[in-house]
Structure 1
């Protein structure tokens, strides 16, 4: 059962009246959230979003905002963006790498972040399967949302584009 309408792909040049681009916290191939191996994410229970299949355990802040919560050994952040969006940013790596000795850089304990700040960066082998998720927790009042690119670079490319005005 799918709880939230999946975000669909639409080329960035074909999105009429884009209002807001949410920068990608990850680098890699973009896929719909339904491909996430954890059912809590894939069913859309938490909200709408996308995943990025990456080969780097690096997660950047997609926007300026306040850090509401940090969990999962520093692999999951909830950020309230200045726009009012509440974003869940999650790095799905094998548990054996979620150890302090593998943590190269982090923002655990920070109260606010700016675009491009490193949220977490873990040292994991290159062939380790890693998924990054960006979920909009308060998307119930949003208009259409799209992922405008099939491949993204962290901190440079838009991962999700909102297409019309909404009340947050």
Structure 2
């Protein structure tokens, strides 16, 4: 059985989630995951080499290469076939996740790459240990595209 895939780290929230070619909205959509978009951004827009991109996303170079290849293939298909692109979901963690404890009012920044099977869902307050917290700042994007923090 293959091991569970690590979440890629994402720097910024999306500006746009949908691209639709003129007159082609009835064709089947191509879905691009957020970590795939981040790979494209880091490699093709920012211009980092693959080792730097992989480090920024918190994945191995081989995993980064697979993510980048999948993203490029999907984008090429969408452009050549005139299909809409929808950007959503995937396996990712937003960087700079800041929480406030409801119990004691402590504010802390969670580590961006949680280990183990919880993927950051069960981040306890480091001061009092409470699981009751609110996320400050961006309202979406903890691991795997979920927006709720327990």
Give the TM-score normalised by the residue count of structure 1: 0.23
Q: Which has the higher helix share?
A: 2
Q: Which has the higher strand share?
A: 1
Give the TM-score normalised by the residue count of structure 2: 0.25
Please identify the structure whose Cα radius of gyration is greater.
2
